[in-house]
A and B are shown apart, each in its own frame.
Chain A
Amino acid sequence: MERKTILIVEDNEDIREIIGIILEDQRYELIMCGTARCLHNELGRMPDAIILDIMLPDGNGLDLCKQIKDDPMTQKIPVLLMSAHEDMLGKQSKADTFISKPFDIEKFKFAVDSYL
């Protein structure tokens, strides 16, 4: 079976590393991004899911999520929006689910698995 690709967009290196460890034994192919620009570049690979942080140095995850969901090419890709601001997660962004920081590793895994 082909490995599923997950695009992880998170500017904090340590948190990227943690997510990498959580998902490493799941046999997913992980693409790591620290910027919105990187997300745009990697989106062409049509990942099976995107884990997207809200605060990025060169963009806002809420807007990026909306762009992904408004584009017929990418709108089917599940987006898991991640933020330390719980209030922001409630906003209209068309994300498939929300993960608030800090997170419980087991719940994080469960959330990702359920979209793949």
Chain B
Amino acid sequence: MNEQTTLSSAEEKQALLAAIVSSSRDAIISKTLKGIITSWNPSAERLFGYGEEYAVGQHISLIIPPERIHEEAYIINEITHGNRIEHFETIRKRKDGGRIPISLSISPIFDKSGTVIGASKIARDISHQKEASEKKSVLAAIVGSSDDAIISKTLAGIITSWNAAAEKLFGYTEAEAIGQHISLIIPEERLEEETYIIGEISKGNKVAHFETIRRAKDGTYIPLSITVSPVINDQGIIIGASKIARDISESIAVQKEREQLYNQIEELSKRKDEFIAMATHELKTPITTLSGFLQILKMRLQPNDESFPFIEKSLKQVDKLGALINDLLDISKIQSGKLKLNYKEIEIVSVVRDVLESFEHVNTHSLILEAPHEVKISGDKIRLEQVITNLITNAIKYSPEGGNILIKIIEQDGPSICITIQDEGIGINPNHLNQLFEPFYRVADERFNISGLGLGLYITKDIIDRHHGIISVESELGKGSTFKIILPKHYDNQGVR
């Protein structure tokens, strides 16, 4: 009876062990000293991908990567001497060829006489552990190499970590800082900030880009931008705070420098405006006087007086001088963004007619206008007059042998009008077309000496741009040029309407 009981209890024990082995989450394998697999539990099947019926009877090298086959000799040697191998971390091979990091514990199997006849092997998949520890070391490396000071502290304000940048920034070593209260680096007059920060952290809130001042070991005050986030444990409980502090003394200095520069530029620009106003007055007053007296002289002379042509020529030059001064002033206004348009509803055909009237004295060219009766658009009358005047002046200037100058105003179907000014002059070299609207650019032509500062088209284009229009040119050497302006009839902030 007793024997029976013993026997059945041994059977029970074996059954129990078998159950443990098969339900274990670790792979459990046994093998002979020659390496032949003798048992293979379900977790081994899951881990390595081979079924029990296949694996049993195979050599253990089935799951050992070729580059690690030498490990087996070491293992067998230890086992043969009756030694256990614990937590041996290595890599094994799956059926699909994939490698898995595992932790092995291997024990010898003895027979009744105490001779080692094989080995039992427990393999635990440590890929998750490995990942976690790798992640941890990556994070540690980031914190360690960060240029920003990274500090963690408990809710009571005790410093629990202190990276290299914190050492550099505040002057305290990690050993000096850890365990100290965070007030170590907070100036007395700013201690209440800590109460506020801890208050926010306790509520689970982040304090981002808080600009403040902290004190280094040597007593210097450092302007910082700090971001403090709650540290939450596995159970979701806030256990402390992590703090990233960035030294902003440089950016504050840059900002100050920028403000200074800005003020300087503002001051210079103001002085420039004053200068322009003064120069305008100073340059135009003598011209006004000259022009006035010359006109009076001209009035008083008989047209047949031999001095009459001198007066006329002088007046023409004075007018030219006035126009050049206007161009120079316009350029400085354009370049400082001060050329203001005075938008009004205007009748463009009469504007062009008025301009043509001022060219009445021209007898070298025929000016021809083709236009509808009237077209109303929004624009700056004086500036558009200037544009038309510039283009007609150019047309005359660049057709030194005379000819027709055809001015067309075309009311297009859409919300825009088109004005073309066509001459029969010397034309423009195609290579120069793209530079035409640049300041100080002049079309050079060795056959003709054409004067000017090269500002007219630059100003013209700027005025057209400000009217949200387009100016373009078509030209053929020796045949003449056609300038084409397209202007929206009405423009407001919403665009063309």
Contacts and interface: CB of A to CB of B under 8 A. Distances in A.
Do the two chains bind?
yes
Interface of A: 12, 14-15, 18, 21-22, 55, 84-87, 90, 101-105
B291 A102 contact: yes
A84 B280 contact: yes
A15 B382 contact: no
Given A18-B293, A55-B281, A86-B326, 7 more contacts: A14-B293, A18-B289, A18-B296, A84-B280, A87-B333, A103-B292, A105-B296
A21 B295 CA distance: 11
Interface in B279-331: 280-281, 284-285, 287-293, 295-296, 299, 318, 322, 326
A87 B384 CA distance: 14
Contacts, number: 54
Nearest to B284: A84
B135 interface: no
29 contacts: A12-B289, A14-B292, A14-B293, A15-B285, A15-B292, A18-B288, A21-B296, A22-B292, A22-B296, A55-B281, A84-B284, A84-B285, A84-B288, A85-B277, A85-B280, A87-B333, A87-B340, A101-B284, A101-B287, A101-B288, A102-B287, A102-B291, A102-B292, A102-B318, A102-B322, A103-B291, A104-B295, A105-B296, A105-B299
A105 B295 contact: yes
Contacts of A55: 281
A15 B287 CA distance: 10
A90 B295 CA distance: 27
A101 B291 CA distance: 10
Chain B interface helix/strand/loop/mixed: helix
A87 B326 CA distance: 11
A15 B284 CA distance: 11
A32 to B, nearest CB: 15
Interface in B338-365: 340, 342
A15 B289 contact: yes
B285 A12 contact: yes
A21 B296 CA distance: 8
Contacts of A85: 277, 280-281
A103 B319 CA distance: 10
B371 to A, nearest CB: 24
B288 A103 contact: yes
Contacts of B280: 84-85
Contact of B292 (A18, A84, A86, A87): A18
A85 B333 CA distance: 12
A38 B295 CA distance: 29
Contacts of B289: 12, 14-15, 18
Nearest to B300: A21
A52 to B, nearest CB: 15
Nearest to A88: B277
Contacts of A102: 284, 287-288, 290-292, 318, 322
Residue with the highest number of chain B CB atoms closer than 10 Å, among A12, A18, A55, A101: A101
B437 to A, nearest CB: 23
Given A90-B342, A103-B288, A84 B295 contact: no
Residue with the highest number of chain A CB atoms closer than 10 Å, among B277, B281, B292, B318: B292
A101 B284 CA distance: 7
Contacts of A87: 333, 340
Interface in B460-494: none
Interface in B403-446: none
A84 B289 CA distance: 12
A21 B298 CA distance: 13
Contacts of A12: 285, 288-289
A62 B277 CA distance: 15
Contacts of B288: 12, 15, 18, 84, 101-103
Contacts of A21: 296
Nearest to B287: A102
Contacts of A84: 280-281, 284-285, 288
Nearest to B333: A87
Nearest to A14: B289
A104 to B, nearest CB: 7
A101 B325 CA distance: 12
Nearest to B326: A86
Contacts of A18: 288-289, 292-293, 296
Contacts of A22: 292, 296
Contacts of B287: 101-102
A18 B290 CA distance: 10
A105 B326 CA distance: 20
A4 B133 CA distance: 103
Contacts of A15: 285, 288-289, 292
B296 A86 contact: no
A102 B317 CA distance: 13
Contacts of A101: 284-285, 287-288
Contacts of B326: 86
B218 to A, nearest CB: 59
A14 B295 CA distance: 14
A60 B281 CA distance: 13
A22 B277 CA distance: 27
Nearest to B382: A86
A3 B37 CA distance: 134
Among all A-B residue pairs, the 8 with the closest Cβ atoms: A18-B292, A84-B284, A102-B288, A102-B291, A14-B289, A101-B288, A105-B295, A90-B342
Contacts of B285: 12, 15, 84, 101
Contacts of B281: 55, 84-85
B29 to A, nearest CB: 95
